[in-house]
Amino acid sequence: MEKNGNNRKLRVCVATCNRADYSKLAPIMFGIKTEPSFFELDVVVLGSHLIDDYGNTYRMIEQDDFDINTRLHTIVRGEDEAAMVESVGLALVKLPDVLNRLKPDIMIVHGDRFDALALATSAALMNIRILHIEGGEVSGTIDDSIRHAITKLAHYHVCCTRSAEQHLISMCEDHDRILLAGCPSYDKLLSAKNKDYMSIIRMWLGDDVKCKDYIVALQHPVTTDIKHSIKMFELTLDALISFNKRTLVLFPNIDAGSKEMVRVMRKKGIEHHPNFRAVKHVPFDQFIQLVAHAGCMIGNSSCGVREVGAFGTPVINLGTRQIGRETGENVLHVRDADTQDKILQALHLQFGKQYPCSKIYGDGNAVPRILKFLKSIDLQEPLQKKFCFPPVKENISQDIDHILETLSALAVDLGGTNLRVAIVSMKGEIVKKYTQFNPKTYEERISLILQMCVEAAAEAVKLNCRILGVGISTGGRVNPQEGIVLHSTKLIQEWNSVDLRTPLSDTLHLPVWVDNDGNCAAMAERKFGQGKGQENFVTLITGTGIGGGIIHQHELIHGSSFCAAELGHLVVSLDGPDCSCGSHGCIEAYASGMALQREAKKLHDEDLLLVEGMSVPKDEPVGALHLIQAAKLGNVKAQSILRTAGTALGLGVVNILHTMNPSLVILSGVLASHYIHIVKDVIRQQALSSVQDVDVVVSDLVDPALLGAASMVLDYTTRRIH
Pairing of strands 406-414, 418-425: antiparallel
List Cβ neighbours of 79 (8 Å cut-off, separation of 6 or more).
Answer: 254, 255, 256, 257, 258, 259, 260
For residue 151, which of 117, 104, 183 has the smallest C-alpha distance? 117
Roughly how many angstroms between the first and final C-alpha of the chain, as a whole number?
Answer: 37
CB–CB of 497/484 below 8 Å? yes
| Adjacent-strand bridge partners of 423 | 410, 432
Neighbours of 688 (CB within 10 A): 11
Integer Cα distance of 504 and 502 in angstroms = 6
DSSP output for 238-268: HHHHHHT-EEEEEPP-SSTTHHHHHHHHHHT
SS3 content of the chain, % helix, strand, coil (to 5): 40, 20, 40
Integer Cα distance of 559 and 564 in angstroms = 5
Residue of 196, 517, 619, 681 marked active site: 517
Which of left, alpha, beta for 206 (phi over 0: left; psi -120 to 50: alpha)?
left
Pairing of strands 315-318, 296-299: parallel
DSSP output for 267-317: HTTGGG-TTEEEES---HHHHHHHHHT-SEEEES-HHHHTGGGGGT--EEE
Cα separation values, 161 from 31, 168, 207, 275, 645, Å: 21, 11, 39, 38, 52
What is the CB-side half-sphere exposure of residue 332 using CA atoms within 13 A?
20
Long-range Cβ contact pairs of 575-578 (< 8 A, separation 24 or more): 576/648
Ranges assigned E (strand) in 285-429: 296-299, 315-318, 331-334, 406-414, 418-425
Neighbours of 148 (CB within 10 A): 17
| Adjacent-strand bridge partners of 666 | 539, 697
Cα separation values, 109 from 33, 112, 131, 318, 641, Å: 17, 9, 6, 27, 73
Neighbours of 381 (CB within 10 A): 12
For residue 115, which of 221, 20, 252, 179 has the smallest C-alpha distance? 20
Quick check: is 607 catalytic?
no
Neighbours of 497 (CB within 10 A): 9
Neighbours of 722 (CB within 10 A): 19
Q: Which residues of 261-290 are buried (b: 16+ CB within 10 A; e: fewer)?
A: bbebbeebebeebebbbbeebbbbeebbbb
Phi, psi of 555 (to 5 degrees): -115, 145
Integer Cα distance of 389 and 380 in angstroms = 24
Active-site residue list: 517
